[in-house]
Amino acid sequence: MERSIENGDEKGGNMALVLIIGGSGRIGSSIARDVLNYTQADVAIAGRNVSRGEAALAHLGSRVKFRVVDFNHPEQIQQAVAEADLAIDTAGPFYHRKMDVLQACIDRQVNYLDVSDERSFTIRALALRPAAEAAGITAIINTGVFPGISNSMVRQGVEKLDRPDSIHLSYVVAGSGGAGVTVMRTTFIGLQRPFEAWLDGRWQEVKPYTERETIEFPPPYGRAQVYWYDMPEAFTLAAAFPVKQVITKFGIVPDFYNHLTWIAARFFPPPMLKSPATVEFLARVSHQMTQVTDRFSGQGVAVRSEVCGQKDGQPACYRSTFFHESAAVATGCGTGSIAQLMLEGKLHRSGVWSVEQVLSTELFDRVMQQRQLQIPGQMIYQ
């Protein structure tokens, strides 16, 4: 039997407990706020740093408690998960992460979400689908804004066409995005190696931060530059939809950060880029720089999805865009909205799934409208 918490109210999860692993960080705290705003659930944030946990409690209110959990001790993860109705893993970077939290959810029959954004982690998580199905739990990975909201934008575009042929996803983040140094680490980890992209109906190797392209984003960004970047959507969308091509490109505002990142990808020797010390140094320096430039650029995020194919016998593309003034808050909305639907019993399917595989466009539109988030789209005939 699939595990869900039924509630007939617009706000779901009455008396439920949501465990947020890494919940005292900026992403975890944003998710906690969304869960508190749109459900009746209580929240437990888990981490090793007591002072950070107590600081988060001061901002989140009386429905939140902090639990000390050392991720190096699987038994502590198991115990924390056992007390929850839904566990959300936000403790990135996910490149080095094991499957401890997801495995604990399978063992304890607790539903699961995460904000993972890394290919190898996604592959390992999806490999646990049979175990999750046997346990009767719903596990949804890659939630947030990109991946997350972006996946649902693509699904909407696919459904608008009679025959989808190609997907082009572009993302731009202003400065730090308000998400802290962890996101900086993830960016530089993504430069370490080439990756495979689905192009012309076959897998082809692509180098990260190549093929600079100018994309028109919503205000305040307008025309901004993006580059090839490895995202889980690069292969989950290719598996979910019958298309011949999936392009995922990423960029930063102000543009000089793109040039610095391009230099690191182009000229740093691979062993240096793969060194944890180098990644940490680059992440720390970048974060210090964005603390200055964020005052001018803001911390927002924008996504543009373009799905091209056939509509009414004509070549056509469906283009949609999304903007939020804070990338961290947008991630909270993306993950929190899925948590809401799961707690309401409206989203349940045993197994491990990417967002576009389980979240219907109807439900996606409803939770975005509740949060007053606009995703304008238009059909362009060619």
Closest among 309, 195, 304 to 244, alpha carbons compared: 309
Name the residue with tokens 């994309």.
215
Does the pLDDT at position 6 exceed 60?
no
Q: Can you tell me the mean pLDDT for 31-53?
A: 90
Is the model more confident about 179 or about 158? 158
* 168 contacts: CB under 8 Å, gap ≥ 6: 245, 247, 249, 305, 306, 307, 308
pLDDT at 177: 63
pLDDT at 337: 98
Q: Can you tell me the mean pLDDT for 354-364?
A: 98
Does the pLDDT at position 2 exceed 50?
no
pLDDT at 12: 43
Q: Can you tell me the mean pLDDT for 36-54?
A: 88
pLDDT at 318: 98
pLDDT at 4: 33
Is the model more confident about 342 or about 270? 342
pLDDT at 1: 34
pLDDT at 232: 94
pLDDT band per the 50, 70, 90 thresholds, residue 85: very high
Q: Can you tell me the mean pLDDT for 146-165?
A: 97
Each residue's pLDDT tens digit, 238-252: 999 999 999 999 999
Least confident of 260-264, 330-334, 335-339, 373-377: 260-264
Least confident of 109-118, 297-306, 315-324: 297-306
Give the percent of the chain with pLDDT over 70: 91
The length of the chain in residues reads 382
Each residue's pLDDT tens digit, 178-230: 666 666 666 777 777 899 999 999 999 999 999 999 999 999 999 999 999 99
**pTM of the model as a whole:** 0.90
Q: Can you tell me the mean pLDDT for 84-102?
A: 90
pLDDT band per the 50, 70, 90 thresholds, residue 176: low
Note if the bond before 130 is cis, omega within 30 degrees: no
Does the pLDDT at position 107 exceed 80?
yes
pLDDT band per the 50, 70, 90 thresholds, residue 35: very high
Which residues, in sequence order, are bridge partners of residue 303?
Answer: 171, 322
The structural domains of the chain, ordered by start, are 17-144+329-370 (3.40.50.720), 146-327 (3.30.360.10)
Does the pLDDT at position 315 exceed 90?
yes
With 0-12 / 13-18 / 19 or more C-beta atoms within 10 angstroms meaning exposed / middle / buried, residue 130 is: exposed
Name the residue with tokens 């439900």.
363
Positive or negative, the CA dihedral 88, 93, 95, 96 is negative
**Token pair in block for residue 128:** 């646990």
